[in-house]
Amino acid sequence: MVMKTRENGSDPCRIQVIQLWWSRMDRKKKMVSINPYGKAKKLVEDIIMDFSKNSDMAVMVLRYFNVIGSDPKGRLARGIIIGLKVKGIDYKTHDETCIHDYIDVTDLVDAHAKALQNAKPHKVGIYNVGTGRDRSVKEFVEACKKATGVKIKVDYLPRRPGDYAEVFSDPTKIRRELNWTARFTDLHESLQIAWRWKNAHRDGYTAAS
């Protein structure tokens, strides 16, 4: 498990994940979680690895990044949710908001299918599922406004403890081993499709008769 980091004093300001979420390599090449979220993810992966040693079950681990979607009940458009809250506007990025990797849900489904096709007992596959492209939170908010045509109120708040300025994936391994590559990488188009579906299915799918 490897990671590239660019250090800014004692605080890494940019992380490109090669094999593991929300962690970094220390000077002794030991994996170190950068927050409780990352620690929990690493613990779960360790449990899965131990389980696979004594099981004939084929196991694949997919590390999702930021899946593009919409509020399940369309509450933002209906005015139930007043607006969006962006936490952190003082990062050393081009627009001072965090950088993330947004993955379309359709690509995510395809990654699951490829993982199932290639799953083998006693050989745990661990893969990042992302685009490898870095997009800021502010860019995402503007794409939401454009895709929905809704005047979204945005409150910019202080940053959350534990958040890094830039976190995005390196999907090289899943591309090489599973022949998977994200195809839907246009933020505006993905959000527009999601918004169109939500407007056509305000209450989700109806129960099968």
**Residue 208 pLDDT greater than 90, yes or no:** no
pLDDT at residue 30, rounded to an integer: 61
Distances (CA, A) of 132 to 15, 135, 183: 12, 10, 12
Split at pLDDT 50, 70, 90, the class of 81 is: low
Domain range for residue 55?
Answer: 3-193
User: Which of 37, 102, 164, 205 is an active site residue?
Assistant: 37
Phi-psi region of 162 (alpha: psi -120 to 50; beta: other; left: phi over 0): left
Instruction: Please report whether residue 49 resides in a domain.
Output: yes
pLDDT at residue 23, rounded to an integer: 45
pTM above 0.85, yes or no: no
Structure confidence by residue, pLDDT tens digits, 10-58:
344 444 343 344 444 444 556 667 778 778 888 888 888 898 888 888 8
Gap between the Cα atoms of 156 and 83, Å rounded: 11
Instruction: Please report whether residue 123 resides in a domain.
Output: yes
Instruction: Please report whether residue 40 resides in a domain.
Output: yes
CATH code for the domain of 170:
3.40.50.720
- The residue among 42, 134, 46 whose CA lies nearest residue 95 is 134
Instruction: Please report whether residue 15 resides in a domain.
Output: yes
Residue 102 designated active-site: no
Number of domain units in the chain: 1
Split at pLDDT 50, 70, 90, the class of 206 is: low
Split at pLDDT 50, 70, 90, the class of 71 is: very low
Instruction: Please report whether residue 209 resides in a domain.
Output: no
